[in-house]
């Protein structure tokens, strides 16, 4: 028996007001991430929110924050 794993990656992010972020994934799933668990992201200005980088498809970084967030962390796994 063989098991195949498919790597799911972050395709894009979008903010819903000041309280939530949408994560669009490569498997066509979308997660709503409540920002009350990520105070540093919630505190970003609109301009700072636009300056993000997806690293290796699985990590998210904002230039204004000295932190890297994993996909698993963001969706609560």
What's the domain range around 68? 10-75
In a domain, 25, yes or no: yes
pLDDT of residue 13: 95
72 falls in which pLDDT band (50, 70, 90)? very high
Q: What is the CATH number of the domain that holds 21?
A: 3.30.2020.40
Q: What is the pLDDT of residues 13-58, one digit of tens each?
A: 999 988 999 999 999 999 999 999 999 999 999 999 999 999 999 9
Nearest to 6 by CA among 58, 55, 74, 45: 58
Instruction: Please report the pLDDT score of residue 16 as a whole number.
Output: 93
Q: Flag whether 3 is in a domain.
A: no
CB proximity list for 31: less than 8 A, separation 6 or greater: 22, 23, 25, 74, 75
pLDDT of residue 3: 61
The total number of structural domains that make up the chain = 1
pLDDT for 8 equals 86
Rounded-to-integer distance, Cα 41 and Cα 45, Å: 9
Does residue 71 form part of some domain? yes
- At residue 30, φ and ψ (nearest 5 deg) are -130, 135
pTM, full prediction? 0.83
């Amino acid at each position: 028996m063989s098991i195949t794993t498919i790597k799911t990656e972050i395709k894009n992010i979008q903010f819903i007001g000041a309280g939530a972020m949408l994560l669009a994934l490569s498997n066509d799933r979308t997660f709503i991430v409540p920002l009350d668990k990520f105070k540093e992201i919630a505190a970003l200005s609109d301009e700072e929110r636009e300056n993000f980088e997806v690293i290796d498809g699985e990590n998210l970084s904002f230039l204004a924050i000295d932190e890297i967030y994993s996909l698993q962390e963001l969706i609560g796994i």
